[in-house]
Amino acid sequence: MAEKSNNQEEILFVGEFVHAIDTQRRIAIPKDWRFKGGETRFYLLPGRHKSLQLMPQKAFKELADKLRKVSVADPKASVALAKLGASARECRCDKQGRIALSEKLLEYAGIKKENKVDAELVLVGAFNNIQIWSSDNWREQQMTDGEMLDVLQKIEEMPDDLNEILKR
């Protein structure tokens, strides 16, 4: 379920949904994860561990603003930006709330349709974005509750200010 703040543009994506891809490589975005009263636009990117990241337009714009500050003279950054730009896709929900996934990104995530049977995938709410996993990859990435809580504690203890991090 998505929680909305007073700002219509902010949705917290929470929950887990198992879906199948239709014959046109589309998946339905849960209703709670779509914006009411306006167009729902996402950006689809490759993620870590063979997942896909589905970012709302506002979050993607914030990322793009940071990426614009990267020097084109930095050879590794230049290639990384090109690879990201080449694989990123803009996705707009149709009237049924579906988005199309590119063949290239489905292959990257290991989501395959075999014997013309719909491939199963998992949509996972990751608070500020949606992660899309093949069912097998999602099962492999599970961590214990203790491990999850340790990671969350580290995040909670991180200072909000970059200057505080640099002082350490």
Residue 6 has pLDDT above 70, yes or no: no
Residue pair 91/54 in contact (Cβ under 8 Å)? The answer is yes
* Alpha carbon distance 98, 20 (integer Å): 12
Dump pLDDT digits (tens) for 13-51.
999 999 999 889 999 999 999 988 778 899 999 999 999
Domains in the chain, ordered, with CATH?
Answer: 2-141 (3.40.1550.20)
Residue pair 47/39 in contact (Cβ under 8 Å)? The answer is no
Structure tokens at 160: 């909000």
Dump pLDDT digits (tens) for 99-152.
999 999 999 999 876 655 567 899 999 999 999 999 999 999 888 888 888 888
DSSP strand pairing (16-20 vs 120-125)? antiparallel
